Structure 1
Amino acid sequence: MSSKLTLGVEEEFFVVDRRGRLSRHAAAVVDAADDQDGELQTELTRSQAELATGVCRDRDDLLGQLRSLRGELATAGARRDLRLLPSGTTPVDEDDPPSITPSPRYQRMADHFGAMIQRVATCGCHVHVGIPDAATGIHVLNHVRPWLPLLLAVTANSPLEAGATTGYRSWRYRKWSQWPSAGPPPVFSSPDHYESVVDGCLRSGAIIDRAMVYWDIRLSEHQPTLEFRISDVAATPDEAVLLAVLIRGLTHAALDTDEPPPDLASEVLRAQLWRAARDGLAGQCPYPTHDTPIPAHTALNELTSLLKPVLRENDDLEFTEDLVARLGRTGGGADRQLRTFDQAGDPLDVVDMLAVAPST
């Protein structure tokens, strides 16, 4: 490995008021925030804000940008008595959910997909890893597909919706799967094969443009990156960076092999992702080298051990081992949400626990 692969992270958030209810003023928060460390923008609904880091090679740079951008959004929100909520779904019940953000593209999506547009308003985390060309991206995509369930479990952070538990650690993933283009990608034989499938989705009307290729991993349309879209927005910047360095490690491992990709049917992988969304880090998780699911924390430790050489070379090993050990003690984001909710029975306590602190 001659150099570290570049990384970038996009995170989506809900903007909520002091009662934990969705605000219609996310655009004003974005406009008022300082985005000198990256990019801030609105999302599908009027209650969502998004950040995007710059291109990073160093883990500490990535972590610093995430902390800064989260803090800037939270500070801009606090000026309006609003809070930034890193959760894949909204814990508090909504009497009148906010409408979509006014833009021609979002309006076209609403007209095309009907009532579904409101039901899929969720917040995720997207990790970009640099690749030299599309053929390399396809090679990596094919080899890392079997790891998607564990990557989903690592940041599962959406067990509540509308004031109640859902029975899933990542309810966001189940909701997002309603999109016709969402879910695990198939194995592709070449970039031309990838393009032919995207073209078929466009011609069918299941997507209205290429930006709606919502596979859990896809080739980025605007950057020389492979984009991992599997995860809930992480509860903390540290957990988002853990996801990113694991993805970078898996990408390096895929680049270093000439073996054919694992023979894993999309239908089986989809079933495994259902299990990961249900259990998160608290239960059993499918693992590529095991016939049946194993404890998720065991799976995460085994992945860390497998990637140890590349994590060490990237200066990510100590950080990864520390974060994995911390998650073993505290549980993942979903576990912490449920623990807080069980203690008081009030979803506002979950909002209080999760809300990003303004910059000082």
Structure 2
Amino acid sequence: MTWTVPTLGVEEEFFVVDDLGRLSGQGAALAGEADEHDGSVQQELNRCQVESATGICRTAGEVLTQLRELRQGLAVAAARRGTRILPSGTPVVAEDGPATVTPHPRYERMAKHFGATLRGVTTCGCHVHVAIPDRERGVQVIDQVRPWLPALLALTANSPLDTGYRTGYHSWRHLQWIRWPTAGAPPRFGSLDRYEELVDELLRTGAALDRAMVYWDVRLSDDLPTVEFRVSDVAATPEDATLLAVLVRALVTTALDTADAGTKPPELPSEVLRARLWQAAHGGLTGGLVHPVTGELTSARAVVGDLLARLRPALSAADDLDFALDQWAALRERGGGAARQLAALGRRRRTTDVADLLAVVPTAATVPER
């Protein structure tokens, strides 16, 4: 078994909030003012959001360092404007009205075409890109990794609240996000030709206005030579996000090896995968999942543990194994992002406490007085 370690990169979306955790419309301003370090920062669909992206990374250490620096750059720029950066999949504190769209021709076209769907979906995710040899091989990766997408969602579930109320889910972002007609569980494609046929059909119906609006939980990137995993909430911490990233990379290399060995992708209907993703969104790491291999109902933590064991050779080849084991142990100890949000809410029943828990504290630079 030969393991070629691909490069990777991580994109994170954040809410911009005020001192009380309410959404602030200063995302575009922060995108222009934050220190980008070795990555990049850009405006997002809604005024209350901002997105960061690492550069091309080769090691877990590079990913973690860049994620920390990007969050710090945004936190410092936010503090200068009297705002904060909040890594949560959905808004935490009650709002007076819906978020407003960032002035941009593409976003304004989306708002006109999709109406209330766009206005009702205010979420923040984490996207992991992993380099692939070519697009045909990328489709093979997608087909092989589909059964493990619920485990990745459970691992990063970080949105149990929505504008001030408990949703009853650990990833409410997932339930909100799949309101887009192109979002959610990807089908089993079988070939690049079939992938492109389905993308063309989505464009023809108007369910997607352009190729960037094909929102499957894992897809081919049209701008980069990568496969992009989009299933996850934005992680509560850079450590959680980096753990996700190294597991995703190991999944990709393992999938390529499995495809090269002639192993056919699992027979998993999209309807069943959609139900399993709902299950992961409902319970997060504290719930149960149908095990992708045994088909038995198993604790989510056990499924993630089995995934890590399955990926052990690929993690070792990338020199990611010790990091993954340490971070998985730490995550089990402190609980997932959703569990930590709910614990913070439970102490005093104040959503502002949750915002305080999540907000990125600027420590990397001095914030001047306003």
Deviations 1:253-311 (CA, angstroms, capped at 9, x unpaired): 11112200000000000000000000100111222112232111111111111111111
The CA deviation at 1:323 is 1.2
Deviations 1:181-231 (CA, angstroms, capped at 9, x unpaired): 001111112111111000001111111111100000100010000000000
Output the amino acid matched with 1:41: Q
The TM-score with structure 1 as length reference comes to 0.98
How many angstroms apart in 2 are the aligned matches of 1:293 and 1:90? 31
Matched residue, 2:24: 23
Preserved CA contact (<8 Å) 1:53 1:66? yes
Matched residue, 1:63: 64
Matched residue, 2:199: 198
DSSP 3-state at the match of 2:286:
coil
The CA deviation at 1:2 is 5.0
Preserved CA contact (<8 Å) 2:18 2:82? yes
Output the amino acid matched with 2:188: V
Preserved CA contact (<8 Å) 1:235 1:333? yes
Matched residue, 2:94: 93
Matched residue, 2:305: 301
Aligned with 1:353 (options 338, 352, 357): 357
The CA deviation at 1:97 is 3.2
Matched residue, 1:172: 173
How many angstroms apart in 2 are the aligned matches of 1:2 and 1:113? 44
Preserved CA contact (<8 Å) 2:3 2:314? no
How many angstroms apart in 1 are the aligned matches of 2:285 and 2:18? 30
How many angstroms apart in 2 are the aligned matches of 1:289 and 1:96? 44
Output the amino acid matched with 2:17: V
Q: How many residues align?
A: 360
Preserved CA contact (<8 Å) 1:300 1:324? no
Matched residue, 2:368: none
Matched residue, 1:279: 283
Q: What runs of 5+ residues in structure 2 fail to find an aligned partner? A: 366-370
1:1-360 equivalent positions in 2, closer than 5 A: 1=2, 3-257=4-258, 258-358=262-362, 359-360=364-365
How many angstroms apart in 2 are the aligned matches of 1:135 and 1:149? 24
DSSP 3-state at the match of 1:256:
helix
How many angstroms apart in 2 are the aligned matches of 1:331 and 1:226? 29
How many angstroms apart in 2 are the aligned matches of 1:64 and 1:72? 12
Output the amino acid matched with 2:280: A
Which is further off, 163-172 or 297-306?
297-306
How many angstroms apart in 2 are the aligned matches of 1:78 and 1:286? 43
How many angstroms apart in 2 are the aligned matches of 1:205 and 1:79? 41
Which is further off, 291-300 or 99-108?
291-300
Output the amino acid matched with 2:129: H
Preserved CA contact (<8 Å) 1:45 1:100? yes
The CA deviation at 1:176 is 0.2
Q: What runs of 5+ residues in structure 1 fail to find an aligned partner? A: none
The TM-score with structure 2 as length reference comes to 0.96
Runs (4+) off by over 3 Å: none
How many angstroms apart in 2 are the aligned matches of 1:310 and 1:96? 47
Deviations 1:313-340 (CA, angstroms, capped at 9, x unpaired): 2111111111111121111000000011
How many angstroms apart in 1 are the aligned matches of 2:152 and 2:99? 30
Preserved CA contact (<8 Å) 2:345 2:354? yes
Which is further off, 27-36 or 82-91?
27-36
Which is further off, 315-324 or 210-219?
315-324
Q: CA RMSD in A?
A: 0.9
How many angstroms apart in 2 are the aligned matches of 1:342 and 1:2? 46
Preserved CA contact (<8 Å) 1:8 1:55? yes
The CA deviation at 1:65 is 0.5
DSSP 3-state at the match of 2:231:
strand
DSSP 3-state at the match of 2:184:
coil
Preserved CA contact (<8 Å) 1:86 1:355? yes
Output the amino acid matched with 1:342: G
Preserved CA contact (<8 Å) 2:99 2:122? no
How many angstroms apart in 1 are the aligned matches of 2:309 and 2:46? 40
The CA deviation at 1:41 is 0.4
How many angstroms apart in 1 are the aligned matches of 2:255 and 2:4? 15
Preserved CA contact (<8 Å) 1:152 1:280? yes
